[in-house]
Structure 1
Amino acid sequence: MKWYSHEIADVLEELAADPSMGLSEEEAAGRLATWGRNELPEAKNDSPIVKFFKHFHDVLIYVLLVAAVITFILQHYIDTGVILAVVVINAAIGFIQENRAEKALEGIRKMLSVKAVVLRSGKRTSIQAADLVPGDIAYLRAGDKVPADLRLFDAVNLQIEESSLTGESDAVEKKTALLPEETVLGDRANMAFAGTAVASGAGAGVVVATGAETELGKISSALAAVEKLQTPLLKQTAAFGKLVSMIIVLSAVALFLIGYWLHDYATGELLLAIIGLTVAMIPEGLPAILSIILALGVQTMAGKNAIVRNLPSVETLGAVTVICSDKTGTLTKNEMTVKSVILESEEFDVGGVGYSPEGAIQKNGRNVSVQDQPMLERFLICVKTLNDSHLYKEGDSWKVSGGATEGCLLTLAEKADKEIEIYPLASKIPFDSSYKYMAALVREGSQKWIYVKGAPERLLEMIPSAERGYWEEKILDHAVRGERLLAAAVKPVPSGVESIGHSDLQSGFTLLGMVGIIDPPRDEVIESIAQCKTAGIRVKMITGDHKETAVAIGSKLGIGVGLKAIEGRELETMDDEALAQAVNDFDIFARTSPADKLRLVEALQKQGHICAMTGDGVNDAPALKRADIGIAMGIKGTEVSKEAAEMVLVDDNFNTIVNAVKEGRRVYDNLKKTILFILPTNVSEGMLIFVSILLGATIPLTPVQILWVNMITAVTISLAIAFEKLEPGTMERPPRKAGSRLLSGYSMFRIAFVSILICGGILWMNTVFTARNYDAGTLQTMTLQALVLSQLFYLFNCRNESRFALNRDFFSNKAAFFVSGLLIIIQLGVTYVPFMNVILATEPIGLSNWIWPLLIGLSVFILVEIEKWIVNRVMGNRLERKSEKGDKGGR
């Protein structure tokens, strides 16, 4: 039932509620049994054990486990132990990095009020909010948290702060009259919603919804139902894993058939060769190194005020194509600010933003002396005297208790160059939306005055009609700027007047002036949005605020083409096709509901966009969770929004998102370079085994030696790539496409090219030294070192995918040289430390035997740099020809 669209008498009858007696304890107990407690369902989480074993659910891990079983059956227990250790280490890394509880629903549950004042059996009583039931009569007063959804039947100056639920920047004044059925959530002034806070006044209402049925509960249900999408990286790595596993299985079958039918290998030896091939071709160290690179990205972002709560989200930032941003508290400060004062003969600008009294009242860039401006001083006295708010400092920030609009008027008065007086009130008419003004009778010396403050259109009715034209022009002028206007007027009255009523406000007033109020954009946001555009990222504003305000803010920020905007009520009537068109045509969405935000994010994702959603309110939580990456505000964001998001901005600074995107692109580039670096090791090892079996030769490496090479290169020299800096021009290129492959065609060519170089060099070396009757242990040691040194030289090729390795940034990454030195020390230990000789079946080799591994490694480095030069020349010529064709077409 749409409670807001029914008369209160009908609502009370429907709920069998009595506003004079309330429910009896027996009736309340019965309804509690029927409807359940006024609580939200708790989130269900997997146990730590289940979470840990989920990290074994990977095709490549299954292949490794099969290899471990076979080695165990063949009694190669060291091989079994090493393989299982690699599997467990990878699972442990994934578990540690990803182990966080799902707290979003718990955060919403904590927003419900703990206590509630209700009418039971004719008596007001305080009960646990969880015991509220539909039909209860509940009372509200300033400072309360609304305990359930209420249909109000009494509201005395009642204002409720709903920004966390609806996105409305100012406290909403409540009334009791019924509203049309099509009224959107943010305009339902006769309702009070669970989890919101009473800013001022008092009221009473009948409980119409509790627990999961409240608007807050609907968000909770939507949040629980939202399917969290896989990040682009996880999709790419999953597809990559399936491809590798398919290649491994086909290669193993082909290897077995060749070895068994062509060369008559013993079954046990052939199985070991197949295991060696399997272990060789699986990049065991890749999951660990990817996790480490992402973790380093998390640390870097934390140092730049962006806390990332999910490792793959680091990389997702680099792929973002659209940022959907809430307005209030994200693009704006969520602090009402007076920007202009309009008097009858002149206007003044007001410096500063927010509630901080820093700034000054100026004209033509110069500070104004209030002493020299009697009308300005009288105006400031009026708006400060007619004020129920309180301005105070808490820590380093200024805050307001009471209405935000009245709070910014106090800030305005504090910016004057002298103390503004407050006159005692002899009589007062409080503000009410039905008449849209607040008035008071004040004494100033021997003279009494009526001060009135309120909506300009109401105060214009109190002044002579001949004076209204000037002010109406000013109202239009400032409304176009997105300023919300508030006026103040004064009228002298005889000293014998002791009280005032509405009849005293009909005429005879002098309009002192008006103020233009805005929720100011954050200073840094304009530049950040411009950077997003340069990087090919589209910014969309999705807000619960009014259309005119959203368009004005969008104009200042540079959001929107032609400053078009669309409202939530229009979105609600659209089917999926129309919505898809709307998300392309519009960048500003006003008066949106939580469901609208979620639909918009889903519509963008269906079109292939990688979508980031920023927000700070409860109403943002489902969209934050659904988005490819949700970004919550750390200072003004609710706990719900923070728990639903993958990233939290510590400083609530939109510019931090741009820095995070840069880091995300750097991380992804380095991930690709790492894969480009690691895979030639695996492919060349697999080629060595396959070609050896094909030729009927001795297998050049044992499974344990292969595992060692794979892991030692992954956890040492490949780590250096994680520290590579952002390459020039990274933020001038568009985001990568959502469906792009992890490895491009050129990357596949590079991997094959390097693998052939390494495999060919080692086979040639083995052929030479086999002919010289070198023993198998020495030859295996030389092969192992040739593989490692080839990767060491190749590291410096991979630091720049296409640029010449020996450039001006060659020494910029100190980690590359540190890990290179560490790897050399470790490999010397593998060769000359006795217990390492036992574990890895290596032997000490002479100095002359190091020449060949070094020559193979150096050859790989030189030939790859030549290949880069050739490819750059070819690509450069192609681009030049395309450019020439474009010029001809243009002419």
Structure 2
Amino acid sequence: MNAVELSEEGPTEWYSEPLERVFERLDSDEEGLTDDEATDRRAEFGPNELEQEAGVSPYRLFLSQFQDFLIYLLIFAALLSVAVGVLPGTAPKYEEAALILLILLANGLFGFVQDYRAEMSIKSLQELSTPNATVLRNGETVTVDAADVVPGDIVVIEQGSVIPADARLVDATAMETNEAALTGESTSVTKVSGTVDADAPLAERDNMVFMSTTAIKGRGRAVVVATGMDTEVGDIATEIQEAEPRETPFQKEVDELGKRIGFGIVALILVIAATQFVFTAAGWLSILLTGITLAVAAVPEGLPAVVTLTLALGSRKILDRDALVRRLPVVESLGSVEVIVSDKTGTLTENQMTVKRVYFDGAAYDVTGSGLSTDGEFRRDGERANPEELTPLLSCGAYCNDAERTPNSADDEYYGDPTEVALLVAAAKSNVAPAHERLREIPFSSERKRMTVVARESLSVLSRGDSVGVDSDLTAYMKGAPEVVLERCDRFLEDGEVRELTDAKREEILERNRTFASNALRVLGFAARSVDNTEADPEDIERNMVFLGLQGMIDPPRDEVPEAIEDCQHAGIRVVMATGDNLDTAKAIGRNIGFDSETAMVGADVEALSDDELRDVVENVDVFARVSPQHKVRILRALQGNGHTVAMTGDGVNDAPALRNADVGISMGIRGTDVAQQASDMVLLDDNFVTIRDAVAEGRAIFDNIRKFVNLLLSANAGEVLTVFFGVFVGTLLFPDLFAAEADPLILTPVMLLWINIVTDGLPALALGTDPKAPNILDRPPRNDGQGVIDRRMVFSIISIGLTMTVIGLGVFFYGLAAVRELVTAQTLLFTFIVTVEMVVIQVIRSRYNQSPFSNPWLIAAVAVSFGLQLLVLYTPLNALFDVFPVSAAHWVWIALGTVAFVIVTTVVERTLG
């Protein structure tokens, strides 16, 4: 069977086929392929690489920053400002157009930089492929480029090897691999040859090794069955490529806001034109100029820039909390999260096996501390115990061990099998170090389920009551499955004496083992004996052992996680755990950190449900175990299908598809793979679940701040537009002689309006983005999809502020006009009044969030600068550019009275609205 026939025959559950059938289908054998066969297959199957999705060109990515309705509206406003210059007796308004376009360009450049980085996600998948691989070619062991590995190749695997492709094991000696990045399994996986059931999930296919995983122990050979995009990692790459980009809720809201403003401006132009035409004697040119000017004034030119910069400031706050935001709109989306689907390993737990309980001398001890830290103590019945009491048991765990501390490193740096590292750390907590001369090792295998080493080390307690009577400085140390170790023992250590192991004592030990295992602990048994011959038959060395005790370990929850989950639940955020670990472990961890583990499900259960059934189930299940990447995506989509805004956390390659599909994808910065980080929206730099809680609080605060400045900008614009419109209308009726004398009878000029919108509104609006969060921000539920930036409460606020500003502002204007009968004097008073009032509006809006005037120093500075700039316009030669005059003290009194009246009215209205 050639390579072409192989590809046409379709996919196979290689792990369940007899090895002979695997070789037959691959047209290979234990001698591997010839060079010619490998060349032909590479031509047929392609290089052993992961395909890249077609990248987005920087040019198109830049243009995409301007594909938004509000952006279109602002571009139209800029063009309109120039286009009016073609009308007789008018000049293009280049200043307005330049300012608007400059703001849009800055906003587009900022978004482009952020999105360009996000588009690089799939490229990191290629970095997982190993540059070289050891294979059999022409019957000889050779090293080839990993891209040249093909189906049918025999791969030679040694400790430390990174697997170049998916392969079926031909033989394996004491082989263990680390597959946490692919499956989520926290412990190393023992690999064996043979067959596996056809329905075995990925994490239980023990006769397979997978691309980009690592052999951490032992050696073996395997026949390659899948390369490139046909591997398990390739499937994940496909999932990422097929994930459609999702708009955040805030992106949808801003787009909808732009449409509302746009339609409102069109309606405004029509109403103004019709009103002036019917009720005034203004000509068509005057009507057109008034409509265009008000339309330009109504557009909140600073809104896109202020939104972008506020999100950027928010991302900086979140970065200070050790979370890096990769897409700006996600900053606000954090505040909308209703469900967090979290991986267990490395996210809720330490991702480091830790000995938590030991059994020695007939008693159980609890072990404090976690991870690689040697800080911890041993407790018996709640009381601190002397760790020296446990020296025989802990020494055995340290001596019968292949893990090592990294040379010339700190105490918390080790390399080797995670289980053996845990034993070294437990020993270090009692100051036991493996300073011994190892003379022989009888390695672990899946058949033996035990490991023994012979060391030049005398365990003194063995000489007391040792019926074997060996007087030697050599000791054999054994560790393994408790029941297997017990079978090799005929004595046990108790009260410092070696005693006969009775059936009753044997059952007591096994019962203790079952108790440890029921708490999801991985339990190992330990034994030792004195020997006098390192060359003896293994059966002779591993007999008549003295049982020392048990050590139970687990990848424990982070200490701060239970409180963080409780805080999330209090804030109306549901947390769901989805892990590749087995059900018992998942349930035990879930119970410890506050989940309801009774309804836990496994991936096979998820697979058996239809999409509709799963949507019902996910609302009541907090723990999912033995889930594959496809299961995680289905769980995510089921929650989203129920209308939830979902955040997904993860660190492994297997998490990347779900991270890409989530409303907010959150990866780990320390333990996370490049794939997970590049597929995510936010990276936790400290891998701490607590950081998610803090980021959610900041996200909610950012949404509050966005609401404040949207309220400010739209209220101000509404007041300006209504003031100008009614001012022109009423002024034409009350002072026809003055208004008739003006070629462009506006009570505020376009330059004044642009100054107010960009400078005196823009700076305080930007400073609002730095407002501190409310102290009770996590005491309220997340906002739902139907609760937009502008709600009914804000609409009433905008209308009330706008109308109050209009009524009082026109009073100030017509006071000035009646007093001096000069339009420029009335314009100056109104111009200054609006600038002053809008400084006050800020605190009127902030008071709704129970924030004092002095809680934000940046806002105080922004208000001072804005007001200072207004004084600069009034009292320097700049007043000629704005066609205003220096306001006198008497005029300031009138402006102050109008401002006080405005504050009283708006405060009463705001409190009435609640």
Do the structures match in fold with TM over 0.5?
A: yes
Question: How many correspondences in the alignment?
Answer: 859
**Which of 684, 709, 733 is equivalent to 1:674?**
709
Change (3 A) 1:407 1:672: same
- Deviations, residues 740-783 of structure 1 (Å, cap 9, x unaligned): 12222121111100000011122233333334453333332222
Give how far 1:228 is off.
2.9
Percent same amino acid among aligned pairs? 36
Distance in 1 of aligned mates of 2:424 and 2:194? 32
> Which residue of structure 1 aligns with residue 196 of structure 2?
179
Deviation at 1:41, TM superposition (A): 2.1
Alignment of 1:341-360 (within 5 A): 341-360=358-377
Between 1:390-399 and 1:739-748, the stretch displaced more is 390-399
| 1:311 maps onto 2:354 in alignment | no
**Other-structure match for 1:257:** 274
Q: 2:340 is paired with a residue of what secondary structure?
A: strand
- Cα distance in 2 between the residues matched to 1:77 and 1:209: 70
Could you list the per-position Cα deviations for residues 121-157 of structure 1 after superposition, in whole angstroms to 9, with x for gaps in the alignment? 2222111111222222211111121111111112111
Q: Quote the residue 1:889 is aligned against.
A: none
Q: Does 1:558 align with 2:601?
A: no
1:276 counterpart = 2:293: yes
User: Equivalent residue for 1:606?
Assistant: 641
Return structure 1 stretches of 4+ with deviation > 6 angstroms.
none
| Deviation larger for 153-162 or 70-79 | 70-79
Q: Distance in 1 between matches of 2:144 and 2:91?
A: 67
For 2:294, give the aligned amino acid.
L
- Equivalent residue, structure 2, for 1:883: none
Q: 1:152 to 1:775 in 2, by over 3 A?
A: same
Q: Assess, with a 3 A threshold, how the Cα gap between structure 1 residues 740 and 393 changes in structure 2: closer, same or farther.
A: farther
Partner of 1:170: 187
Q: How does 1:293-312 map to 2 (within 5 A)?
A: 293-312=310-329
SS at match of 1:283: coil
2:405 aligned to which of 387, 391, 394: 391
Deviation at 1:97, TM superposition (A): 4.3
What 5-or-longer segments of structure 1 have no aligned partner?
873-891
Could you say what secondary structure the match of 2:412 adopts?
A: strand
1:231 is matched with 248
2:212 to 190, 195, 208: 195
Deviation by residue 1:765-812 (Cα, 9 ceiling, x = unmatched)? 333333445333333222222221111111111122264x7xxx3322
Q: Structure 1 655/270 Cα, relative in aligned 2: closer, same or farther at 3 Å?
A: same
Aligned amino acid, residue 56 of structure 1: F
Of 578, 583, 606, which aligns to 1:542? 578
After TM superposition, the structure 1 stretch with the greater mean CA deviation from structure 2, 334-343 or 42-51, is 42-51
Question: Which of the numbers 735, 740, 747 marks the counterpart of 2:787?
Answer: 740
Aligned position for 1:459? 485
**Aligned residue type for 1:863:** V
Q: Do 1:414 and 1:420's aligned partners in 2 also have CA atoms closer than 8 Å? A: no
2:483 alignment partner AA: E
| 764-773 vs 711-720, greater mean Cα deviation | 764-773
Asked whether 1:629 is paired with 2:672, we answer: no
| 1:888 aligned residue | none
**Distance (whole Å) between structure 1 residues aligned to residue 622 and residue 407 of structure 2:** 37
User: Among residues 136, 157, 164, which one is paired with 2:174 in the alignment?
Assistant: 157
Give the AA of the match of 2:165: A
**Whole-angstrom CA distance in 1 between matches of 2:537 and 2:205:** 32
Task: Give the distance between the partners of 2:568 and 2:409, measured in 1 at CA.
Answer: 33
Q: TM-score scaled by structure 2?
A: 0.89
Q: Which is further off, 399-408 or 254-263?
A: 254-263
Q: Name the aligned partner's letter for residue 154 of structure 2.
A: I
- CA 1:300–1:393 in structure 2 vs 1: closer, same or farther (change >3 Å)? farther
Give the stretch that moved more between structures: 213-222 or 386-395: 386-395
Name the structure 1 match of 2:517. 479
Deviations 1:401-459 (A, max 9, x none): 22111111112222224556646334x43111123111345566634655331112323
Structure 1 residues 859 and 48 mapped into 2: Cα distance closer, same or farther (>3 Å)?
A: farther
Partner amino acid, structure 2, of 1:384: A
* Matching residue of 2:822: 775
Instruction: Find the partner of 1:823 among 866, 869, 873.
Output: 866
1:834-873 alignment, distance < 5 Å: 834-835=877-878, 837-838=880-881, 840-872=882-914
How far apart are residue 661 of structure 1 and its match?
1.4
Change (3 A) 1:325 1:396: farther
Given the superposition, is the C-alpha separation of residues 418 and 456 from structure 1 closer, same or farther in structure 2, using an over 3 Å criterion?
A: closer
Residue aligning to 1:435: 448
2:25 is the alignment partner of 1:14: yes
Q: Does 1:499 align with 2:554?
A: no
Q: Does 1:131 align with 2:131?
A: no
Q: Measure, in 2, the Cα distance between the counterparts of 1:836 and 1:208.
A: 80
Deviations 1:153-208 (CA, angstroms, capped at 9, x unpaired): 12111111111111111111111111112111111111111111111111211221
Distance 1:83 1:344 in 2: 85
Q: For 1:440-479, what per-residue CA distance to the aligned partner results, in whole angstroms no more than 9, with x for missing partners?
A: 4556663465533111232343455443321222122222
SS of residue matched to 1:338: strand
Task: Label 1:219 to 1:638 Cα distance change in 2 as closer, same or farther (>3 A).
Answer: same
Q: What's the counterpart of residue 722 of structure 2? A: 687
Aligned amino acid, residue 705 of structure 1: M
Matched, 1:811 2:854: yes
**1:59 maps to what in 2?**
69
Distance 1:655 1:63 in 2: 41
Cα distance in 1 for partners of 2:41, 2:569 equals 55
User: Do 1:231 and 1:316's aligned partners in 2 also have CA atoms closer than 8 Å?
Assistant: yes
Letter in 1 for 2:506: R
Do 2:660 and 2:680's aligned partners in 1 also have CA atoms closer than 8 Å? yes
Is 1:594 matched up with 2:622?
no
Give the match's secondary structure for 1:431: coil
Aligned partners of 2:761 and 2:50: how far apart in 1? 47
Out of 380, 386, 391, the position equivalent to 1:377 is 391
- The alignment status of 1:524 with 2:579, answered yes or no, reads no
AA matched with 1:821 = A
The alignment partner of 2:362 has SS state of coil
Contact kept in structure 2, 1:677 and 1:718, CA below 8 Å: yes
Aligned partner of 1:546: which letter? Answer: N
Rounded Cα–Cα distance in structure 1 between residues aligned with 2:544 and 2:592: 39
Find the aligned partners of 1:683 and 1:419 in 2 and give their Cα distance: 75
Change (3 A) 1:367 1:391: farther
TM-score normalised to structure 1 length: 0.92
Distance 2:857 2:456 in 1: 76
**What letter matches 1:347 in structure 2?**
A
Aligned to 2:736: none
Residue matched to 1:711? 758
Shift of 1:2: 1.5
1:630-651 Cα shifts (integer Å, max 9, x gaps): 1111111112212122211221
Q: Please report how far the alpha carbon of residue 9 of structure 1 lies from its aligned counterpart in structure 2 after TM superposition.
A: 1.6
Query: 1:384 touches 1:413 (CA, 8 Å); kept in 2?
Result: yes
Distance 1:591 1:185 in 2: 9
Cα distance in 2 for residues equivalent to 1:359 and 1:461 = 32
Distance 1:526 1:855, change over 3 A: same
Q: Tell me the equivalent position of 1:572.
A: 607
Q: Structure 2 CA distance, aligned partners of 1:50 and 1:496?
A: 75
Indicate the residue corresponding to 1:884 in structure 2.
Answer: none
Per-residue deviation, 1:83:
2.5
1:72, distance to aligned residue in structure 2 (A): 2.5
Which amino acid is 1:68 matched to? A
CA contact (8 A) 1:369 1:417 kept: no
Instruction: Output the aligned Cα RMSD.
Output: 2.4
Alignment of 1:85 with 2:122, yes or no, is no
CA contact (8 A) 1:567 1:591 kept: yes
CA contact (8 A) 1:381 1:421 kept: no
Distance 1:632 1:497, change over 3 A: closer
How far apart in 1 are the matches of 2:638 and 2:554?
31
- What is the Cα deviation at residue 693 of structure 1? 5.7
One-letter code of the match for 1:71? S
Q: Give the SS at the match of 2:406.
A: strand
Residue type matched to 2:807 in 1? Answer: G
Please give the per-residue CA displacement for 1:679-707, whole angstroms capped at 9, x wherever unaligned: 11111222234335655733322333222
In the aligned structure 2, how far is the partner of 1:57 from the partner of 1:125?
54
Indicate the larger mover: 469-478 or 158-167: 469-478
Q: What runs of 5+ residues in structure 2 fail to find an aligned partner? A: 1-11, 459-470, 490-501, 733-744
